[in-house]
Structure 1
Amino acid sequence: MTNHGGPEEDHGLRLVPFRGLRYVPKRVGSLAAVTSPPYDVVVRPDGLHHLESADPHNIVRLILPQAATPADRNRQAADTLGRWLGEGVLAPDPEPALYVYEQSKGDLLQRGLIGSLALSDPADGVVLPHEDVMPHVVADRAGLMRATAANLEPLLLTYRSDGDDSGATAVIDRTTQRAPLLSTTTEDGFSHRLWSVTDPAELEVVSKDLSHRQALIADGHHRWATCLRLRSEQPAPGPWDYSLVLLVDTASYPLQVRAIHRLLHRLPVADALAALAGAFRVREVPGPLPHAMDALAAAATAGNAFLLAGDGAFHLVDRPDEALLARTVPTDRPAAWRTLDATVLHTTLLDHLWSIPDAPEDIGYIHATDAAVEQAERHGGTAVLMHPVREEVVRDLARQGVMMPRKSTSFGPKPASGLVLRSLGLS
């Protein structure tokens, strides 16, 4: 985004080349078989088992190692990474580069730059978070990153150029005219291509363009917070001062914004509905799921609305009691924050009506609507399906320094994990 009231010239984004760590194609079954969605999108355990069985070298064995304790999991990931490097399954590129990354599916085309981004403090206004984070997730990711000394998957950051097809965007588009380093299509139908940019003149164009830009964290708040924590632990400047990111110019390549749904493990649908009596309007709406989600979208145009599922039916919850909202929603933040569905869900429903703590044993966060419903039905819980918030609302709140409730948004498409990694031990 352009810096209206943002950082001064040369105090913006600093994206630098690095020696990418990549799979050696002849040592794996296929590049598609070793990739994974980001760690927090993998639906465990079904998705995890599926990815582990796709190829013995799937990246999920690094980003979601399986062992009895956190220490054992981190040690296992570090050992696996070391073994794959020793066996030549992963190998570093010969010289530092920025990487142009393209994702496409049907009419959707997204391009951006993968690089090593200098970390900045929140007060600097260079990188803008928009969601709160969960301390236990940051602690988990920090332990994994310390053990592996690597950025195993890129964060997704966005900025807005001036839309004049110059600067970094022009470098990206020129680069895609060359033959890519790799090309693969994953099972979700997305095609992925990757190129390296090493020419000093092209790198200088990118550097100058980004030097006065701000970025919004679209995906990866916990990993960003993890990187800031680990940087603070270091006695001197070094590789921990940077993080692996995919930076997308949404003036040229707009992202999609989706909701992240809640799975209430210990709350049956019948109990959830009973607690809403007199506080919200509750109606059963017909399926199948896409039809019910259309009903949610229609209700969301008039105010806060949620779709509850898990008992074989779909229950539309909307029109909250205004007096209840006045009592339960904090008034010390902007109206745009107070009226968010995620705000009302956490302050009014979860905290007040359902008395459910925001702990992993009570609440799961799931990106796919069908997976949320399926797990709720299988385990007797309640899926709370959400309608996505508009991107301009996210940006406006971020510029004001107002954090949305955690897991409020899902920007996409997300970069596939496993196409390029960053080892902190490589120069």
Structure 2
Amino acid sequence: MSNHGRPEEDHGLRLSPFRGLRYVPERVGSLAAVTSPPYDVVVRPDGLSHLESADPHNIVRLILPQAATPADRNRQAAETLHRWLSDGVLAPDREPALYVYEQRKGDLLQRGVIGALALTPPSDGIVLPHEDVMPHVVADRAGLMRATAANLEPLLLTYRSGGNATGATAVIDRTILRSPLLATTTEDGFSHRLWSITDPADLAEVTSDLSTRQALIADGHHRWATYLRLKSEHPSPGPWDAGLVLLIDTARYPLQVRAIHRVLHRLPVADALAAVADTFRVRKIPGPLPQALDELAEAATAGNAFLLAGDGAFHLIDRPDEALLARTIPRDHPTAWQTLDATVLHATLLDHVWSIPDAPEDIAYIHDTEAAVTHAERHGGTAVLMHPVREEVVRDLARQGVTMPRKSTSFGPKPATGLVLRSLDLS
């Protein structure tokens, strides 16, 4: 099957029901207090300790266990999961199900289906990654999944139907008319509701609809790479052949696309600006942050642009020297890839101008804009604020089999972690 085409009948997405692990409401303070953002979004100052103190059973104790070594962290997560199951804090649903998941905040509404998705190699063109991954993160997530034998949070995948109320969409529309399994509102203002789909006819309708679909990984590239690694470690057919995902039909529920920012720990803003003075236009612009981001958005309409912060001010750098780009940007990729802000940032600025290794001690990837600025100011580094890329650019590159630099996009809203888990021991 080609990466460029649409999967053939019965060779598309295969989503299976599973016995979801869910919190028992009577055993926790509240469902909102035990949820968390995805593991890589717990970035605000003191975010981890805030979540840990929200409830002794907050899911962050499983997805980001705190111990001295990776082995200790993974062992701790496995012991915590086992204890919560033994104590009845978490319990499996009685029968396998797919789950309809809804998120709502103001005018923003998103609905999709959570299930165990059959894992397929990238060459099949069924699940399309669009970003590179960092090997050390995949190794970290793999260690955690091996120890817990669980998918602790769903990946966010998107597909596009014809927009008609048929197939999975029709099942979702019928399901939400029933009372949900759970409903809660998290501190970010999002309300969350979850329903189960167990009727054989409904399950068959969802399966038939998705069997012709192709999905784009919107969020969770490292976890998808982890799923594939662990599947290769378990060659016999079994539960490791699938991974927990949330599938969203963006023809019905378009996602928002935001940027992921960089904080360069060991590069002061003054040094960053001095290094680009001869090859970029550099302008100090007024704040506050929302106004500075508006300036970035306007500059980005004309070409590559970045906003640097960390010294109490905002500095817009744009209009890179064409000769510099010609020397530093690889030419073996499509033009759309060559002109990405993330490509210019990594290939030109980080690799060539600033000579910053792409290692955790040198670069932090932070989703929240204010958190990135605060982090840089506290530690004397440079926050590089990015403008988001358009979803159609992401999808077009993915269909060509071209991956973007790691952490190029942040699709959302992201599913809350902790509402439903998948134990591989129950599959």
Same fold (TM over 0.5): yes
In the alignment, what sits opposite 2:22? 22
In the alignment, what sits opposite 1:112? 112
In the alignment, what sits opposite 2:124? 124
In the alignment, what sits opposite 2:90? 90
In percent, how many aligned pairs have the same letter?
85
| Cα deviation code 1:309-358 (max 9, x no counterpart) | 00000000100000100000000000000000000000000000000000
Measured after TM superposition, the shift of residue 179 of structure 1 is 0.5
SS in 1 for 2:53: helix
In the alignment, what sits opposite 1:154? 154
SS in 2 for 1:112: strand
Q: Does 1:385 align with 2:391?
A: no
Question: Which AA in structure 1 matches 2:106?
Answer: G
In the alignment, what sits opposite 2:33? 33
Contact 2:44 2:368 in 1 (8 A): no
In the alignment, what sits opposite 2:363? 363
In the alignment, what sits opposite 2:313? 313
Measured after TM superposition, the shift of residue 49 of structure 1 is 0.6
Measured after TM superposition, the shift of residue 164 of structure 1 is 1.1
Question: Which AA in structure 2 matches 1:47?
Answer: G
In the alignment, what sits opposite 1:11? 11
In the alignment, what sits opposite 2:214? 214
Distance 1:221 1:324 in 2: 31
Measured after TM superposition, the shift of residue 235 of structure 1 is 3.5
Contact 2:158 2:217 in 1 (8 A): yes
Question: Which AA in structure 2 matches 1:185?
Answer: T
Aligned ranges 1:195-234 → 2 under 5 Å? 195-234=195-234
Aligned ranges 1:293-312 → 2 under 5 Å? 293-312=293-312
Question: Which AA in structure 2 matches 1:270?
Answer: A
SS in 2 for 1:275: helix
Q: Does 1:331 align with 2:319?
A: no
Measured after TM superposition, the shift of residue 4 of structure 1 is 7.5
SS in 2 for 1:94: coil
Change (3 A) 1:199 1:109: same
Number of positions where the alignment pairs a residue of Structure 1 with one of Structure 2: 425
Distance 2:377 2:4 in 1: 48
Distance 1:9 1:138 in 2: 32
In the alignment, what sits opposite 1:238? 238
In the alignment, what sits opposite 1:401? 401
Distance 2:164 2:56 in 1: 45
Instruction: Name stretches of at least 5 consecutive residues in structure 1 with no aligned partner.
Output: none
SS in 2 for 1:5: coil
Aligned ranges 1:256-275 → 2 under 5 Å? 256-275=256-275
Q: Does 1:278 align with 2:240?
A: no
Measured after TM superposition, the shift of residue 44 of structure 1 is 6.3
Measured after TM superposition, the shift of residue 45 of structure 1 is 5.8
Distance 1:189 1:376 in 2: 27
Distance 1:370 1:346 in 2: 22
Contact 2:24 2:90 in 1 (8 A): yes
SS in 1 for 2:39: coil
Q: Does 1:249 align with 2:269?
A: no
Measured after TM superposition, the shift of residue 308 of structure 1 is 0.1
Distance 1:309 1:298 in 2: 18
Q: Does 1:136 align with 2:151?
A: no
Measured after TM superposition, the shift of residue 173 of structure 1 is 1.1
Distance 2:43 2:164 in 1: 40
Distance 1:165 1:357 in 2: 49
Contact 2:4 2:125 in 1 (8 A): no
Question: Which AA in structure 2 matches 1:257?
Answer: V
| Cα deviation code 1:184-235 (max 9, x no counterpart) | 0000000000000000001110000000100000000000000000000113
Change (3 A) 1:55 1:100: same
Distance 2:172 2:339 in 1: 38
Contact 2:45 2:371 in 1 (8 A): no
Q: Please provide the CA RMSD for this pair.
A: 0.8
Question: Which AA in structure 2 matches 1:12?
Answer: G
